[in-house]
Amino acid sequence: MSHLPGVRQARKQKTRQALLDAALELLEGQSLSSLGLREVTRAAGIAPTAFYRHFRSVEDLGVALVEEALGSLHPMIRTTVSTIGDGEERIARAIDLIVGHVDAYPAHVRFVTRERHGGVRPVREAIHGQLGLFTAEVAEALAADAVSAGWSREDVLMLAQLYVDLMLGTASLLLEGAREWERVSRVAARQMRLIGIGRAHWLDQPDGGG
Query: Residue 8's pLDDT is what?
Result: 79
68-203 topology per CATH:
Tetracycline Repressor; domain 2 (1.10.357)
Query: Residue 134's pLDDT is what?
Result: 86
d(CA 170, CA 71) in angstroms, rounded, equals 18
Give CATH 1.10.357.10 domain extents, the chain: 68-203
> Model pTM greater than 0.75?
yes
Give CATH 1.10.10.60 domain extents, the chain: 7-56
d(CA 116, CA 34) in angstroms, rounded, equals 15
**80 and 137 in contact (C-beta within 8 Å)?**
no
d(CA 58, CA 33) in angstroms, rounded, equals 9
d(CA 70, CA 62) in angstroms, rounded, equals 12
Read off the pLDDT of residues 43-59 as tens digits, 9 standing for 90 and up.
999 999 999 999 999 99
Alpha helices by DSSP H, listed for the chain, are 4-26, 37-44, 58-80, 87-104, 106-115, 121-143, 153-176, 181-200
7-56 topology per CATH:
Arc Repressor Mutant, subunit A (1.10.10)
Long-range contacts of 185-193 (CB under 8 A, 24+ apart): 185/95, 185/98, 185/99, 188/95, 188/98, 189/91, 189/92, 189/95, 191/166, 192/91, 192/94, 192/95, 192/166, 193/87, 193/91
